[in-house]
């Protein structure tokens, strides 16, 4: 049983302190308390979501809900170590039929036409096509940290309303088309929840954060110039500054507020550089951003990504010539 305070809320136990000792030393006990109470929604469990799920569960959040209607595919098996782990455990638990002819000691297993051995085929993946990707991965995810509640929802994200998204503290959407990301971002904003979007595009990727109005505290050594409350940038302001002595050091705790913006639409104009009185060069923007916006413009017009569409067009052309 976990220890409780007088108001009935649970506090972190000694076992948890020992388990999460390294990260508590990094970000403090108060931050770990917030993490252990966090309910997180993760949408789409492909290669990127696979890594996110691992990190969240190992960090010790309260619950992780995986929303993914897609079935497992051979591509997932090549990029999903949770599916591979589930496959190995299931194969080991499945007894193989006794062979009438036992191979002689030292003999190499007979190879199949695809280069795999008969032993590999006997221990082949029991995760069949059509099995939900998140459901197949959940046992291996749960095994990482039994203290975390891991849940699976095989529904389509487009079928979820605001009430569904409002039950989570953090919403992470990965590998979704831009219209879906914008709709979920809007729902998260209406519910006052933190929203993250991320995706992989070959060797490139992006991550987007919309935390609404987010306040945070920075502790640092005080500089020669005193930090004063007031606006720092167009979206960030210093709210409060407190200093204290720590031996020979003077440490200041600076409370800041960052106002985030929602995810832009593909058709929205790119932000133009603002003119500055000091004529400083405008901040550089990564050229991949333009490619990402072009990709977002393409996806609503086609259910397939550009590479798949090009391949399909090539097949159609080959059929026509034939």
In tens, the pLDDT along 63-73 reads: 999 999 999 88
Assigned domain for 223 exists: yes
C-alpha distances in Å from residue 308, one per residue of 313, 314, 315? 9, 10, 11
**Per-residue confidence (pLDDT) for residue 52, from 0 to 100:** 97
Residue 227 maps to a domain: yes
Q: Quick check: 154 pLDDT over 90?
A: yes
Tens-digit pLDDT profile for residues 169-183: 999 999 998 899 999
b/e burial code for range 179-188 (CB count within 10 A of at least 16 → b)? ebbbbbbbbb
Does residue 249 sit within a domain?
yes
Whether 86 is covered by a domain: the verdict is: no
pLDDT at 90: 57
pLDDT higher than 50, residue 270: yes
Question: Which pair of structure tokens corresponds to residue 145?
Answer: 């940290």
Domain containing 237 equals 214-259
Q: Is residue 11 part of a domain?
A: no
pLDDT averaged over every residue in the chain: 78
Q: How many distinct structural domains can be found in the chain?
A: 1
Mean pLDDT calculated for residue range 281-298: 74
Give mean pLDDT, residues 237-245. Answer: 92
Helix then strand then coil, in percent of the chain rounded to 5, is 40, 25, 40
């Amino acid at each position: 049983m976990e220890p409780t305070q007088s108001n009935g809320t649970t506090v972190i136990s000694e076992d948890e302190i020992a388990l999460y000792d390294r990260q508590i030393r990094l970000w403090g006990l108060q931050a770990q308390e917030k993490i252990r109470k966090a309910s997180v929604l993760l949408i789409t469990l492909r290669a990127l979501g696979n890594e996110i799920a691992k990190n969240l569960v190992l960090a010790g959040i309260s619950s992780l809900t995986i929303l993914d209607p897609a079935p497992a595919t051979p591509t997932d098996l090549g990029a999903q170590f949770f599916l591979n782990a589930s496959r190995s455990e299931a194969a080991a638990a499945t007894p193989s039929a006794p062979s009438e002819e036992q191979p002689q000691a030292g003999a190499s297993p007979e190879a199949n036409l695809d280069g795999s051995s008969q032993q590999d085929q006997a221990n082949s993946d029991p995760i069949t096509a059509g099995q939900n990707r998140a459901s197949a991965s959940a046992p291996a995810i749960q095994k990482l940290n039994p203290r975390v509640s891991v849940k699976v929802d095989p529904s389509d994200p487009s079928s979820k309303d605001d009430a569904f998204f409002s039950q989570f503290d953090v919403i992470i959407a990965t590998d979704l088309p831009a219209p879906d990301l914008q709709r979920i971002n809007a729902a998260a904003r209406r519910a006052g929840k933190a929203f993250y979007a991320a995706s992989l595009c070959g060797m490139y990727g992006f991550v987007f954060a919309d935390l609404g109005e987010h306040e945070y505290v920075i502790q640092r050594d005080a500089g020669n110039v005193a930090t004063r409350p007031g606006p720092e940038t167009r979206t960030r302001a210093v709210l409060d500054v407190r200093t204290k002595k720590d031996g020979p050091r003077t440490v200041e705790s600076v409370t800041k507020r960052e106002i985030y913006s929602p995810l832009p639409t593909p058709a929205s104009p790119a932000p133009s550089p603002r003119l500055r009185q000091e004529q400083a060069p405008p901040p550089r923007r990564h050229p991949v951003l333009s490619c990402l916006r072009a990709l977002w413009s393409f996806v609503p017009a086609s259910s397939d990504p550009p590479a798949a569409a090009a391949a399909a067009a090539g097949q159609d052309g080959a059929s026509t010539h034939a």
